[in-house]
Structure 1
Amino acid sequence: MFFDSLDVSYGEMWGPHRGMTHPDPMSRAVAARRHAVGMDYAVLLSARERPLALVEYWPRRMWRVYLFDDRSWRMQVIDLEPHSTGMLLAARNIRWKFSDEQEHSSGNWDVQQTTTVSADGQVEVSSAFAGPRGALHALAAGPSGVRVRRFPAPVEDFLCPVPEFGDWQVFAPFLAQQGHEPARTVVLSDVSVDEGSGPLRATGIEQLFTPGACGTPDGPAVVDSVDAGLLRITSGQLAVSDPGWIKDPRTVAVPPGEFPVTLSLLRTAHGAGVAAARVMFLDIPPREWEMALRPDEDLGLLGEGQFYGVGVDTGTAAFMDATRTVIEDQLDEDLFMPLDSQFSVELPSTELEPNLIAFRAGRGDGSYPVWIGRTDDGRVGCVVVDFRLHCADGGE
């Protein structure tokens, strides 16, 4: 394909996505802010509504380039690493050949050629051949033969400039490796993306704890508010974390004392789940909500509907004092097994430490927003972790 212009759009990291547009688009402004702080994002370069290259910006100034052929098949990936010259080195270049569209869709290549280049220009080219595929081989495609060549080459042949944000013409020469022909001058045109309402906002949080009927995408449901016990805070720091991994919790400064924990249960025809959990510090309705952030987190780096949240890897979250520790060997018996038959569990106080109240995460593993409800004078009235089983404002 000959091209003299490229449409530019931005989004989250591409990963295994094989579509023709960003699965999670973002505005140019958000991408620029991410670039400035070294945070990952992706750039899609297209011509005539067909993807030609997808460029990912990784932390530590690394780049990855996916290349597409005239059929819009992803046929190549190039990893670019910082080089001592101040440029980028194409340290690894993988190309594939597929017998047909079905094999491409399933990732069953016929040939995979991998070229690696060292910082001083030592090149290794490895060609793997999948060979004939039977039923079993199609499920676990692997090479039946590998050929390797090694030789020195001028390292300059594998270098390219480090792009400033928006200087995506730097990657245009790579497109020739998939048969695309750039004009002498390539014009870049940004695809407009609506800024929208920005990061996720707290809407209807109070309604999550209001008993009664509600609607969900899966049909009618009922909200129950359930007492989960009193949480003891001694250090003035509330921690919200997966109890199986509390080394880096999300913390909120709160007063010391004992405070009630309440679960919002969402009951549907399919069963019941914990929709949200709340710890109350003041019996005063919040006037405003804010996302619980770490010092290095910036809302300006988030796209439409995104949030910073507590990570869950055991299907469980917990409220605790920031000084509380756990004995991992006892978690199965004391916490995870009881949660198989109940919605919350308290690990009682020890002689030196306050208690911990754990509860099931409504959607299981994932990341969930933590909201701080503040009063008129700025005090923390409550902290809520929302498992997003339903939206109290009626949205999905």
Structure 2
Amino acid sequence: MTHPDPMSRAVAARRHAAGMDYAVLLSAGERPLALVEFWPRRMWRVYLFDDRSWRVQMIDLKPHSTGMLLAHRNVRWQFAGEREHASGKRDVQETTTVSADGQVEVRSEVAGPRGASTEPSRAGTSGPFPAPVEDFLYPVPEFGDWQVFAPLLAQQGHEPAATIVLNDVSVDEGAGPLRATGIERLFSPGACDAPDGPGVVEPVDAGLLRITSGRLAVSDPGWIDENARGVAVPPGEFPVTLSLLRTARETGVAAARVTFLDVPPSEWDMLLRPDEDLGLLGEGQFYGVGVDTGTAAFLDATRRVTEERLDEDVFLPLDSEFSVELPGTESEPNLIAFRAGRGDGSYPVWIGRTDEGQVGCVVVDFQLRSADGEK
């Protein structure tokens, strides 16, 4: 019934209009009834809860040629007890699929005997058989029109009243998207507080990055084409600095910076792609560089790397080093890769600008510690 980072109605409405995902919890008092998820491509998913507040059913709805939503998949789960529910061990899973023209197929899977070293399941299928497709169609809701999903509650034995009144739980707009506070302190040497206890910040030189095209890219080196975030910068060679965070538990790369002007930034901007809108983010959220190989890199936007070179010249050296330079030819720019915090995930990238709006530096914060000095 609670969420650590609830989204305000205003943010959800903007995400709805932009076709971006969000979720709505429908509840009565302290009892959850349904979790409604809005997905890209105007699809919806509804989870239903039983009297024990267990999530026991999932209904997927997609646009239909009639202009309505088709409940094309309906999955029900049965659990032997609370322990099995908590661990996701289902005794029975029944899946009903409905085609666009009303052909229905039902598949049941029953778990094998308990206590066996392996638990094979038995499956059975019935259908397909015809049914009126109208029985599976629902109106497409406008934002806030959650009563569209009320009839689905009857599938769990709930009986909606003749008049349904939905009241929004108040959620403040909050402070908005993640803010760049104290980024400079990520590179200040000395003692600091970290989630794992006392730590020490140690800035280290990671080499000179050569920019030839006038555009910097920040990316997982294994996914440059799909993942890179870019910004216009002057050509030349520029120092890269890593901020190492040493604690009793481990040493990790807390942040990485490439410096273009030896001038303290007067403001910080999140590095965005053209199609990204800060107004669609909830409190503390950010658009970041995605990491899927445990590695991030600064590089010229024109630089590409073959898979063979990545394995031999980047990933293997990073097993024992915090950073590695992948040299280029005389005319080809280099690449500087480094370990990404504690591994895969998404990390904010900040542009430090001068009073004149020039790019003074670019920083990737791997969020191993709070940049504003708080624990």
TM-score by length of 1: 0.92
SS at 2:11 equivalent: helix
CA contact (8 A) 1:363 1:388 kept: no
Report how far residue 351 of structure 1 moved. Answer: 4.1
CA contact (8 A) 2:198 2:247 kept: yes
Q: More displaced, 105-114 or 173-182?
A: 105-114
Instruction: Give identity over the alignment, percent.
Output: 80
Name the counterpart of 2:215.
237
1:317 matches 2:306: no
Name the counterpart of 1:222.
200
SS at 1:136 equivalent: coil
1:108 matches 2:86: no
Moved over 6 A (4+): none
Work out which of the residue numbers 66, 69, 85 in structure 2 matches 1:85.
66
CA contact (8 A) 2:193 2:374 kept: no
Alpha-carbon distance in 2 for matches of 1:315, 1:131: 38
Unaligned runs of 5+ in 1: 1-19
CA contact (8 A) 1:113 1:125 kept: yes
Alpha-carbon distance in 1 for matches of 2:86, 2:193: 38
Residues 250-306 of structure 1: CA distance to partner in whole angstroms, max 9, x if unpaired?
A: 001111111111111111122321111111111110000010000000111111111
Q: Which amino acid aligns with 1:153?
A: A
CA contact (8 A) 2:351 2:359 kept: yes
1:49 matches 2:30: yes
Residues 135-162 of structure 1: CA distance to partner in whole angstroms, max 9, x if unpaired?
A: 434xxx5522424233211110110100
Alpha-carbon distance in 1 for matches of 2:41, 2:186: 41
1:99 matches 2:77: no
1:339 matches 2:318: yes
Q: Which amino acid aligns with 1:242?
A: D
Alpha-carbon distance in 2 for matches of 1:208, 1:98: 48
Query: Alpha carbon RMSD of aligned pairs, Å?
Result: 1.3
Match runs of 1:30-69 below 5 Å:
30-69=11-50
CA contact (8 A) 2:60 2:74 kept: yes
Q: Which amino acid aligns with 1:87?
A: M
Work out which of the residue numbers 334, 340, 343 in structure 2 matches 1:355.
334
More strand by share: 1
Residues 147-179 of structure 1: CA distance to partner in whole angstroms, max 9, x if unpaired?
A: 423321111011010000000000001001001
Report how far residue 110 of structure 1 moved. Answer: 2.2
Work out which of the residue numbers 178, 182, 189 in structure 1 matches 2:167.
189
SS at 1:35 equivalent: helix
Work out which of the residue numbers 266, 269, 280 in structure 2 matches 1:290.
269
Q: Which amino acid aligns with 1:234?
A: T
CA contact (8 A) 1:372 1:384 kept: yes
SS at 1:259 equivalent: strand
CA contact (8 A) 2:244 2:252 kept: yes
Work out which of the residue numbers 204, 215, 218 in structure 1 matches 2:182.
204
CA contact (8 A) 1:311 1:366 kept: yes
Name the counterpart of 1:11.
none
CA contact (8 A) 2:36 2:47 kept: yes
Report how far residue 29 of structure 1 moved. Answer: 0.6
Name the counterpart of 1:127.
108
Name the counterpart of 1:257.
236
Q: Which amino acid aligns with 1:224?
A: E
Report how far residue 111 of structure 1 moved. Answer: 2.0
Unaligned runs of 5+ in 2: none
CA contact (8 A) 1:127 1:147 kept: yes
Residues 62-121 of structure 1: CA distance to partner in whole angstroms, max 9, x if unpaired?
A: 101100011101111011011111000110111122222222222222222111111111
Residues 372-396 of structure 1: CA distance to partner in whole angstroms, max 9, x if unpaired?
A: 0000010000000011111132224
TM-score by length of 2: 0.97
Alpha-carbon distance in 2 for matches of 1:330, 1:346: 12
